[in-house]
Amino acid sequence: MRKTLTAMVAGALSVGALLVANVGHAAEIGTHSFKMASAGADGSPLVLGMGKFAEIVAAKSGGKMKVQLHPNGALGGDVQMISALQGGIVEMTVLNAGLLSSLDPNFVLVDLPFQFDTPKEADAVMDGPVGRALLDRVQPKGLVGLAYWELGFRQLTNSRRAVTTVDDIAGLKIRVVQSPIYIELFKALGANAVPLPFPEVYTALETKTVDGQENPAPSILSAKLNEVQKYLTLSNHMYNPQAVLVSAKFWAKLNADERKLIEEAAQEARDYERAVSREQAGKAVEELKARGMTVTTLAPAEIEKFRAKIQPVIDSFSQKVDPALMAQAKAEIAKARAAR
């Protein structure tokens, strides 16, 4: 009986010790409320991913950490968000990863046209050593990179004519991302490239300031660009990884447990966001067609003509990337293709 009682007391002490340890650990998560902004529209994969991220953070922190979501470019476009994070005005964002080439030219790598054939190839590069190395390069610039989400493959729309050949793009005024490679890409195709923040795109199309734009199908649908665009061309000319970033100033205020929680939440939300993005991609094209857009799928032979016409742009921008990093990315893509 004495042995049994001793064992019970010892067991109780053990459980008590564990409870104290857990309480002590839980106390390392402080109360925080912080902003996460995006140019993405309500209903887009990015904004749905942000919602999932906020849910995960709240659950993991027991409600101590609250993420305030600001979609629709309410706090500014992607370029403004980079400055806002560096200044600590906004704590988090998710934005077009290629725009980080303004801070480090190696980010041009993610925007090279026709680089990826499938999302899995992109995942192999972005989730591996290449993607991590890129994010590490912007930390000295006041940004902490946590993960890559996606917008998927970009497609072309316009209000003037169906684009069925590479020559059909000539003369069109196309809104592009505020990044040199986008500008040079569409100039090479004969278009007049007009860089604008995404929140300004609908108005620019509506007022005919520009004839067209290029974005993944879910983004076209969620932003209702079909209301001001007639023709959609499925070109898959670029894959769009989105970088989840934290202000280094905000990051410095967090302890190790809080940082780990946010990092894990960003990774978990990544898997959800990508699944939503890929599911929405096909459905969005069908919905855009149902809403009156004329949809053209480029023939493989025509895509090869696109590749040939823009090869000088690819060659030029590839030179901005560390050769070792470029070689590693190509190796990861080849490995993913061989596994298909």
Q: Determine what percent of the chain is predicted with pLDDT higher than 90.
A: 90
Q: How far apart (Å, rounded) are the C-alpha atoms in residues 204 and 258?
A: 42
Instruction: Report the C-alpha gap between 140 and 94 in whole angstroms.
Output: 18
User: What distance in Å separates the CA atoms of residue 25 and residue 31, rounded to the nearest whole number?
Assistant: 14
Name the amino acid, one letter, at 283.
K
Q: What is the mean pLDDT of residues 180-202?
A: 96
Rounded to an integer, the average pLDDT of 175-191 is: 96
pLDDT classification of 16: cutoffs 50, 70, 90: very low
Chain segment 244-283, per-residue pLDDT in tens? 999 999 999 999 999 999 999 999 999 999 999 999 998 9
Average pLDDT over residues 155-176: 97
With a cut of 80, say whether residue 6 has pLDDT above it.
no
Per-domain residue ranges of the chain: 30-338
pLDDT band at 21 (very low <50, low <70, confident <90, very high): very low
| CATH number belonging to the domain at 30-338, selected among 3.40.190.170, 3.40.50.970, 3.30.1490.270, 3.10.20.30 | 3.40.190.170
Chain-wide mean pLDDT for the chain?
92
Contact criterion met (CB below 8 Å) for 177 and 194: no
With a cut of 90, say whether residue 85 has pLDDT above it.
yes
Confidence at 10, pLDDT banded by 50, 70, 90: very low
Q: What is the band of 65 on the pLDDT scale with cuts at 50, 70, 90?
A: very high
Question: Mean pLDDT, to the nearest integer, of 33-42?
Answer: 95
Q: What is the pLDDT at residue 2?
A: 40
Q: Exposed e or buried b for every residue in 177-206, given b needs 16+ CB within 10 A?
A: bbbbbbbbbbebbebebbebbbbebbebbe
User: What would the mean pLDDT of 324-333 be, rounded to a whole number?
Assistant: 97
Would the pTM of this model clear 0.75, i.e. be above it?
yes
